[in-house]
Structure 1
Amino acid sequence: MSKHRQSRRDRRRAARNATTMAAPLAAEAPDATAEVSETSEAVAEAVRRTSTGLLSASVLMAAGTIVSRISGFVRSALIFAAIGSSLNADIFTGANTIPNALYILVAGGIFNVVLVPQLVRAMKNDSDGGEAYAQRIVTLGLLVLGIATVVLVIATPLLVRLVFDHRLFDPGNEDALSSAYALMRYCLPQVFFYGAFVLVGQILNSRGRFGPMMWAPIANNLISCAILVTYIVVYGSSNGSDGFTSGQEILLGVGSTVGIAVQALVLVPYLRAAGFHYRPRFDFRGVGLGHTLKLGAWTLAFILVNQVMFVVITRISTSAGLLALADGDADPAGTTVYASAFLITQVPHGVITVSLVTATMPLISRLAAQGDLRAMRSEIQSNIRLVLALLAPIAVAVFALSEPLGTLVASWGAMEGRTEAVSTTIAAFAPAIIFFSLHYMSLRGFYALEDTRTPFFLQLVLATVNIALAVAFATRVDPQAISSVLAIAYGCAYLVGSLLAITVLSFRIGPVLDWSALGFLARLVPACLVAGAVILACGNLLAEPLGLDGDDKVTALVTLVVFGGLGAAAFLVMAFLLRIREVTTVLRTIARR
């Protein structure tokens, strides 16, 4: 073997070892998107520096996400207080949710999972650090979003018929149907602002500025909260099914859209701070956009499958309010209950998984581009172990504490004392906290490999399972249980999806779940079971002696803090005894930060 070939092999081995051995949860490092030279020695050094900074970036993003989610909780509570959980609430929730789904259908998949690797490559390879490429992307994106938004507003009647259950069009529901049309029109411009927000945010992420995108939604939540408080002051609380007045529709619909617009605008000043100066560019040909769009074709198909699933679930959930109206039932569990419970159980995913994956995606993409699959697999394995170590005990706690969680979020205004359906739905969503994040992380491995085809087929299987189970379950229960069985169907679908995704990814990069991972799970599971048992035992044995057996919001908050704290302490003790190092490393890093 020549000295040149031996030296090159040694350099590749050094690069792999630098990633495999470097602790991914250390404290300080430069930006994750620092420019990397073509030599293997520089790659190894960049990987060393980047790996040590991942948790620092993740902690910053997690902090923003926590504050954002807390404000989101307040917003959910205000929705229950202002308009309850019956048909009116489902109409508003549906109209306000659809724009995000439509944005994702139009362009979100391309913006979210294709552009970051492409932007990183442009920053590395282009003489201007990728600025011209990013300018073209922003110009093209805004054009597509603007045209799509106009078309969607014109197509409002079709969208309402597509999204809402067919019973909404029956005689006697004319007022509710009119409100659905109005709210949809007022909310659909959000599609443009969602797209602008993600476009700007992904440019910031590709330049290592992860925090602003995580903190910006707080502005939207604050505006939404102000709108709902204004609604309560002006119109009072209700839990109706007869639609809204024109003034209520303007306040709720236009106010929600203003919140999304502000969310996008607050990111703009950070672009200049990140060194990016935007000017419109329309020279789209010959600059590699065709490659990006080719990758995005499969992603668009993936998103299409996802949105078909979303529409089916939305139609089923809106049927709860309409069935309850026909039966004279005042406590349906439809779209609003489902969405609020989903929001609660997505908090751990947003705080932990999204923060970590956003910080590590440039690194994983860079390793994939270098062909270092061993180092890439090691990084993904580390991420999975870290996320499971943090999410699994949270999922157990959410299940065990679902009753006080439901009380704290939903027992307001017209909903006070009527939160059983919310609590049950939260408990039903708890397993999905784990499975959704596993699936999410596995798909990022394919995207780093620039494989958008495989995730499409994986999502096709997942959506089929979710829809089949949702339809089968929902047709067999009363309106009060529809949101709960939909949550169970969701968790089952993501269990299947995560196992399938990990299996297929293992064929590409090597075993993701190896013997060390099984050993990790053998230590994590008993630690979580002990924590869950402590919470349940405290609830059964100590609630009455401590005066925590009531159903008011103060009692619920104290219960969450006291019994949740005891469960957390039990888990940390078990983590120390069983040597779950991911937990102790996180605690040390947070303490240093």
Structure 2
Amino acid sequence: MSLLKHTSTIAGFTVISRIFGFVRDILLARVLGAGLAGDAYQLAFTLPNTFRRLFAEGAFSVAFVPMYSRKLAGEDGEADAARFADDVLSVFIWILLGFSALAMIVMPIIVYGLASEYQSVPGKFELSVLLSRVTFPYLFFISLVAMLTGLLNARSRFAPGAIAPILFNIVLIGGIVGGYYWRGNSGDDRFVVYALSAAVSLSGLVQFIYLWWAVRRAGLKLHVRRPKMTPEVKQLGMVILPATFGAGIYQISQFVDTFFATSLPQGSLTLLKMADRLNQMPLGIVGIALGTAILPMLSRHIQNGHADRAHWLQSEAFETATLLTLPAAAALAICAPAFVTAFFVGGKFTIADGQIMAQITMALVAGLPAYVIVKILNPGFFARSDTRTPVYTALASLIFNIALNLYVVSRYGIVGLAGATAASATFNCLLLYIVLHRRGWFHFSAQLGSRIFRQLIATAFMSALLWWMMGWMMPYFSDDILTRIAALTILVGGGLFTYFAIGYSVGAVDRDRINRLLRRNRLTETANQQEN
């Protein structure tokens, strides 16, 4: 029940964040479209955002949270954990400052390495360098946010870390609106991306202030002292280095994809990033929520020698992930033209842009279940302080991804690139499971396999309905705003009802768990009524 509770808390706030993020992307598409300024901004945002996912929320979190959790569970408890956190912060903050300063100095080299083709378009390379320098301070602030979030997550306080991205999206929406009015009738999109890039760094500061307040409110006090490489800090560093690669195959692939996308026609990078935002909706809500909730709980079970509970926890997470991502992937693949047309097409975002974005989305979501399941399988290694194995699987998947890109990009363009990303994520997922299974740390039970098979049955019925509905509803998605809303409501509502109705009837959903939740809710309501 605690996994469901914590996952629901994170997922609930993440849904709100994704809604704001969706509004942000719709505004961005219509205000900028897929052109020179849009590509320059997407590249500038990709740099700090990918480093954030790779180091701060990826390697650092999976290394720091288990170590901090073990400190809390040790003999000295709070005192030992507080010393460890202070030591890490005192070293971490200077590393971040140094790395950020160095990156901003050598930014022209970094941009050239990722997008040398931008030099062939007058002004595009220079604009990309400038915007990248403006956005990069975001990495400093958001890395500190990741540490503060880790402190709270280890204490099962998941809400503040899930609320922070909401603040991020609100600030960026403000940047887009401010840039739009600053541009006025000039038609110069640089005003928009200047304001938006500044908003990126400002959002990092806003999130840091909020998380610092949340940590203090939780009764924790952090101190920045003279940096000192204690044995524990050195151990954390030794875990972070391989974990950076092992936990970040998706983020590393983003750099690879960016490199290939910048060699394609102008607007390709913008369309890829926009399509990935749609893909990130269920990935963020389900994958991040489950991955964040499972790591500290899994670490405690393993630390206490409860191997059976650890296996049960991962099985529960796996079942929940497939329950939600299988229908999400199928629905996004089938309904991508509807979503893109209804939400994004308009302003500077043309119908042709929408058609390409829909095709990219279809290719990306083929790997959606794998993206999420990797976030469940990786903690099985990190909670046992095994960071080497994910490195090996990530390296194999990255090589596989590059080889695929070399073959498909020249033949199928940006859509082929998206398909290669999905295939490499699936390959990485399979490798991780094979190793976990062979070591006896996690394996498919007959019950789990049966449940997933029934989920596939429900997904098939839902897909058939959506395919039929898309055949006659497509014209309505480009009509007036009220018609679009009504058509999308019918489409989404029909798909959800069909999936869960069929899923419940065939046993894809755990009926006993639902009945227990309903019974618990009824008891809670009764108790509240009696108190009143």
TM-score (norm 2): 0.91
Contact kept? 1:380, 1:512, Cα under 8 Å: no
More helix by share: 2
- The aligned amino acid for 1:271 is V
Which of 155, 158, 162 aligns to 1:214? It is 162
Q: Describe the SS at the equivalent of 1:521.
A: helix
Query: 2:245 & 2:288 partners in 1: Cα distance?
Result: 22
With over 3 angstroms needed to count, the CA separation of the structure-2 counterparts of 1:552 and 1:461, relative to structure 1, is farther
Query: 2:341 & 2:90 partners in 1: Cα distance?
Result: 46
Q: Describe the SS at the equivalent of 2:17.
A: helix
Shift of 1:427: 1.6
Shift of 1:216: 1.0
Which of 242, 262, 268 aligns to 2:206? It is 262
Query: 1:60 & 1:229 partners in 2: Cα distance?
Result: 30
- The aligned amino acid for 2:445 is D
Which of 100, 107, 110 aligns to 1:159? It is 110
Residue 228 of structure 1: aligned partner: 176
Residue 321 of structure 1: aligned partner: 265
Query: Are residue 147 (structure 1) and residue 98 (structure 2) matched?
Result: yes
Residue 29 of structure 1: aligned partner: none
What is the root-mean-square deviation in Å for CA atoms of aligned residues? 2.5
Q: Describe the SS at the equivalent of 1:412.
A: coil
Query: Are residue 548 (structure 1) and residue 483 (structure 2) matched?
Result: no
Query: 2:363 & 2:228 partners in 1: Cα distance?
Result: 47
Query: What are the within-5 Å matches in structure 2 for residues 184-583 of structure 1?
Result: 184-236=132-184, 245=190, 247-248=191-192, 250-282=194-226, 284-286=228-230, 288-302=232-246, 309-322=253-266, 332=267, 334-418=268-352, 419-477=354-412, 482-541=413-472, 543=473, 548=476, 550=478, 554-582=482-510
Query: 1:577 & 1:305 partners in 2: Cα distance?
Result: 38
With over 3 angstroms needed to count, the CA separation of the structure-2 counterparts of 1:575 and 1:301, relative to structure 1, is closer
Q: Describe the SS at the equivalent of 2:327.
A: helix
Query: 2:231 & 2:220 partners in 1: Cα distance?
Result: 18
Shift of 1:555: 3.9
Contact kept? 2:461, 2:498, Cα under 8 Å: yes
In structure 2, the gaps of 5 or more residues are 525-532
In structure 1, the gaps of 5 or more residues are 1-51, 323-331
Q: Describe the SS at the equivalent of 2:157.
A: coil
Query: 2:249 & 2:459 partners in 1: Cα distance?
Result: 34
Q: Work out which of the two has the higher radius of gyration on C-alpha atoms and give 1 or 2.
A: 1
Query: 1:312 & 1:109 partners in 2: Cα distance?
Result: 18
Query: 1:237 & 1:587 partners in 2: Cα distance?
Result: 58
Query: 1:131 & 1:184 partners in 2: Cα distance?
Result: 35
Residue 74 of structure 1: aligned partner: 23
Deviations 1:152-196 (A, max 9, x none): 1111111111121x22223xx331222112111111111201211
Deviations 1:221-256 (A, max 9, x none): 111111111222221599x9xx965x5554232222
Query: What are the within-5 Å matches in structure 2 for residues 23-38 of structure 1?
Result: none
With over 3 angstroms needed to count, the CA separation of the structure-2 counterparts of 1:159 and 1:126, relative to structure 1, is farther
Shift of 1:106: 5.5
Residue 117 of structure 1: aligned partner: 66
- The aligned amino acid for 2:398 is A
Residue 175 of structure 1: aligned partner: 123
Deviations 1:544-585 (A, max 9, x none): 8xx736455544433322022112111112112112233773
With over 3 angstroms needed to count, the CA separation of the structure-2 counterparts of 1:527 and 1:133, relative to structure 1, is same
Shift of 1:259: 1.6
TM-score (norm 1): 0.82
Shift of 1:284: 3.3
With over 3 angstroms needed to count, the CA separation of the structure-2 counterparts of 1:523 and 1:105, relative to structure 1, is closer
Percent of residue pairs identical: 22
Query: 1:363 & 1:143 partners in 2: Cα distance?
Result: 30
